[in-house]
Structure 1
Amino acid sequence: MDALKQRSQSTLLSKLRRAFVGIYTLVGVVLACLYPAGFFLVDESGTLSPPAICTLFINTLGFAGVALAPTARDESPIYIRACQAMCLISVLVCDYFWVPSNSPLFVRIPSSLVHAAPLIADLTAFQLILQWWDENARIYNSPRPCSERRPGSEMASRGKRGHPHMSIPTTSNGLEGEDAEHSDAVSFADFSPGELYWCDHYEWLESCGYELRPRFKPGWIPSWRQDPKKISVLCEDAWSPLNTAVIDARRLSDGRNVVLKKVDQSLHPFELEISEFLASLGKSRENHCISILEILRPADDQNLVIFVLPYLRRYNSPRFDTFGEAVELFRQLFEGVQFMHRNNVAHRDIHLGNILMDGAHLYPRGFHPDFQHQHLKVDKYADASHTTRTWRPVKYYLVDFGISRRYTPAERKAGTRDRIILGGDKSPPEHQGNQYKVDPFATDVYFLGNFIKTEFMTGNKRLLTAGFHGFEFMADLVAEMTQEDPSKRPTIDEASAHFAQVQKSLSAWKLRSRVVSRKSLRYRPDRVTMHWLRRLRSFIFRRLAIPTSLE
């Protein structure tokens, strides 16, 4: 409920921002029109002069461009500079025609600068207001640590006083130092029970060759307490993982980012066996199952194992640029599920959280390893620059085999039936009735079809996602895969064959077209312009419309 409340508040903030931008743009365009009109809107013949038309057009583009300037984390701010430059040029052109031609140069130049300065100052102020607005909205919507507790609660006292790794001076009311007036900052210094496990095993993991972030280091003191100028929510050591069973780390031998996953074998007895089996099949283009780099076994708990996994990104970060990129995702998912089913393994938990990609090469300058802040730079609270999948193809992976099952060929031939296990997607029709056993392979087909439907076509009301325009070509296949009767659904082989036909029917123009969210402006000038520039570059360098990974 807290997440939904935050999302609704974010939507309201976004609407207010758009209203502000709209009003400001309207006023700006009117002023841009009146400025040249006062000088030479009408020439001696009573018609619009060419300089006036040119200046009107450029000024209008400039103001509208700044109003629609990119605010998403993966756009470049250079567009705003270009809009400001257009307005400046238009004013200089206007003054060139307005100042008498017999005036000396030292009169023309100061006159132009005097008239241009207010306009540029106005645009710069507008840009700063938008940046402030977006930054505050981003901070407001930053996920709060799962360890957040009231300062006086039992968990807070455990996290701050009862744990040997914490050395934070506290006041009599349970608040620390200068933060006594800001109780929300205290919560970022609290540890959840799941985080305490990683704190207790920091030194052991370091001896195994893996280093956790400073937050989990013995004797950690929050950085915002050492430097009062820092804001706690912007400090990386304030970020608590949403899922404390999975945490990022750095491998000391080569500095590579990895993921540590804690698995309780009493709860998931088959995960290790299935993961090792899928890894034993070897790396291939068809195998989209995440591999295990190493298995760590803590001595203090025989039921626990820690998987060392490759560091992967969310499948949709950065966002898709073209339909060809999304089609390649679909193809790899069909291929990956088909590979598992051919080896008699049912995943049983295919949803957006268990689909990741090896996309580190999309960020040539790196990005922050925290899962909730992958869009940021490594050492700065600013957006990390990246390229597209068309330019640098990626490979997608299926992860989390905690409730997966492996069956014998005889069981598959006789018709597999297994008890229901609820995963991330709880919408399959066979999970809603009184059935006790279902066909897990047919449910996998439903999961994959429903993922495409909710993430790319219709959106997901529960997660407040809107979907995208233009994916109607997948409608028939998705309808077949999500039929209520599992026996009527196609097998993954049949679904893959159907998808291959759908893929062949798509033109190169469609595949290179821009993917637009249903909640975004479809023909937003800045994004359309940047898309066509990327499209032209891909065409010149002969990049494929469907960027297929070589692995």
Structure 2
Amino acid sequence: MGDFEYHDRIIGPLFSSNSSDLCALSKSELWWSSHFEYLKEHGYMMRPRYRPGWKPSFKPGILTALYSEDGQTILHPYVMDALRISDSYMVAIKRVKVSTGEENIANFFSNQEHNTNPRNRCIRVLEVLPVPGNDDEKIIVMPWLRKVMDPRFRTIGEAVQFFQEIIQGLQYMHENNVAHRDCARNNMGMDANPMFTRQYHPIKPKKRHNWSGRALHHSRTRCPPTYFLIDFGQSRMYNPSQPRPSEYALKSGGYTPPEGDADIPCDPFATDVYILGTMIRTSFLDGDSDSYKPGVHGFEFLRPLVNDMIADDPSSRPTMTEVSSRFSDLVRKLPWWKLRSRAVQKDEFFTTPFRAVYHLFWTASMMLLLKPAIPSPKPLH
């Protein structure tokens, strides 16, 4: 759903050295294809590639497959995209093992009490289906989410909205005695449907779902998306009447917290704070040298808070309640022109003057439309 990590055989046959395999489904794809009728009966239609009797529309070859709609493989072996037949709403269908408890935590934040709480930023479960003949797995259906950095943030205020909602969401999880434990950027997503004039393709999101052209979109300022935390496979729920046990930290988003390197169990809530702070540092403040992704100018006001969030000593890190309070204070002090200023990638050079001039006219149009500097999406319910 939007931002899953790559896994073995994700690309499947498209990069096989044997040309006879280029049009074949991978092992994980075959599992989904074998459940096509079952999912259809429950109201979900997978893409043509996974329908019974599918024959490729393209000739064998890597390039022809890449440029064909039915040559697009799934992004994760346990996650399938589909359209809800009743209204063509795009969903993510995920296979989860019962033993992980992911279904329980996802359902917990989707129940009536939490589902109506505007501070809840956990992805909603639309339906849970049994896996025929397998009691060890379940199928959970959720909205399909897009990667949070695609398209890029246009203004500082747009990124502030993202920070607000994710901080709020993680704080809400902690208040309900749940640690995410893997809250890196790849486990965040956005409902970008309000931004797009036509539905985008789940695997090639720059194209329309029906492959008829580019998927055009409005800015986040004009048509705000909503951000969510996803993937609770490593999450843990704790008994509020008992002391919270220490946990060994996991590598998340390519980074291991200091307590993980030291192999010392600690408060999982403090580890969540570190992972979130690292996400802000590597995605916005400094960039990520390992993946050659630059940072973004304009977010130095967050440096003191982020430095405290990524402190080596877990006991020195602020709680999510403190993070939320300090973040709100920092944002409150920002002038309107700062929030409306352009979020410039640190590797952008030659096009900056041209984009700056265009941004002035665009900003004026947003102000005339009375769009706030920090986008405000419609309530979830």
Amino acid paired to 1:264: K
Shift of 1:422: 4.1
Q: Does 1:524 align with 2:352?
A: yes
The amino acid of 2:35's aligned partner reads H
Query: How far apart, CA to CA, are the structure 2 residues paired with 1:477 and 1:240?
Result: 40
Cα distance change on mapping 1:522 and 1:351 into 2, 3 Å? farther
One of 23, 40, 43 as aligned partner of 1:209: 43
2-structure distance, mates of 1:295, 1:462: 38
Asked if 2 retains the 8 angstrom alpha-carbon contact of 1:234 and 1:381, the reply is no
Please give the alpha-carbon distance, in whole angstroms, between the structure 2 residues aligned to 1:197 and 1:471.
45
Q: Counterpart in 1 of 2:119? A: 286
Report what 2:286 is aligned to. Answer: 458
Kindly indicate whether residue 193 of structure 2 is the aligned counterpart of residue 364 of structure 1.
no
Matched to 2:56, the amino acid is P
In the alignment, is the contact (CA less than 8 A) between 2:122 and 2:230 conserved in 1?
yes
SS where residue 231 of structure 1 aligns? helix
For 1:510 and 1:149, the matched residues in 2 are separated by: 46
Q: Which structure carries more relative contact order (alpha carbon 8 Å, separation 6+)?
A: 2
Q: Does 1:534 align with 2:353?
A: no
Deviation at 1:325, TM superposition (A): 0.4
Distance 1:519 1:420 in 2: 33
- Which of 66, 72, 83 pairs up with 1:233? 66
Q: Distance in 2 between the 1:422 and 1:405 partners?
A: 16
Which of 247, 255, 276 is 1:448 aligned to? 276
Q: Distance in 1 between matches of 2:44 and 2:362?
A: 39
Greater helix percent: which structure? 1
Q: Determine helix, strand or coil for the equivalent of 1:329.
A: helix
Alignment of 1:190 with 2:2, yes or no, is: no
Counterpart of 2:209?
378
In structure 1, distance between residues paired with 2:317 and 2:28: 40
Matched, 1:354 2:187: yes
Where does 1:140-289 land on structure 2 (aligned, <5 Å)?
145-148=11-14, 150=16, 152=18, 183=19, 186-225=20-59, 231-266=64-99, 268=100, 270-280=101-111, 281-289=114-122
Percent identity, aligned pairs only? 37
Aligned 8 A contact 1:298 1:304 in 2: yes
Pair 1:286–1:425, CA change in 2 (3 A): farther
For 1:404 and 1:522, how far apart are their aligned partners in 2?
A: 44
1:161 aligns with: none
Assess if the C-alpha contact under 8 Å between 2:339 and 2:373 holds in 1: yes
Please say if residues 425 and 447 of structure 1, whose CA atoms lie closer than 8 Å, have aligned partners that are also in contact. no
Structure 1 unmatched ranges of 5 or more: 1-142, 153-182
C-alpha spacing 1:434/1:313, structure 2 compared with 1 (3 Å): closer
Q: 2:302 aligns with which of 474, 498, 507?
A: 474
TM-score scaled to structure 2, two decimals? 0.91
- How many positions carry a matched residue from both structures? 368
CA 336–150 in structure 1, closer or farther in 2 if over 3 Å, else same: closer
Question: Which residue, 407, 419, 427 being the options, matches 2:256?
Answer: 427
* Partner residue in 1 for 2:229: 398
Q: Is the 8 A contact 1:188 1:239 kept in 2?
A: no
Q: Matched residue of 2:110: which SS?
A: helix
Measured after TM superposition, the shift of residue 209 of structure 1 is 1.4
Give the structure 1 partner of residue 139 of structure 2: 306
Quote how far apart the aligned CAs of 1:426 are. 3.4
Structure 1 length normalisation: TM-score? 0.64
Structure 2 residue runs of 5 or longer lacking an equivalent are: 1-8
Describe how 1:87-98 pairs up with structure 2 within 5 A: none
Task: Give the counterpart letter for 2:235 in structure 1.
Answer: S
What is the one-letter code of the residue matched to 1:248?
D
Q: Distance in 2 between matches of 1:512 and 1:488?
A: 34
**Residue 489 of structure 1 pairs with residue 317 of structure 2:** yes
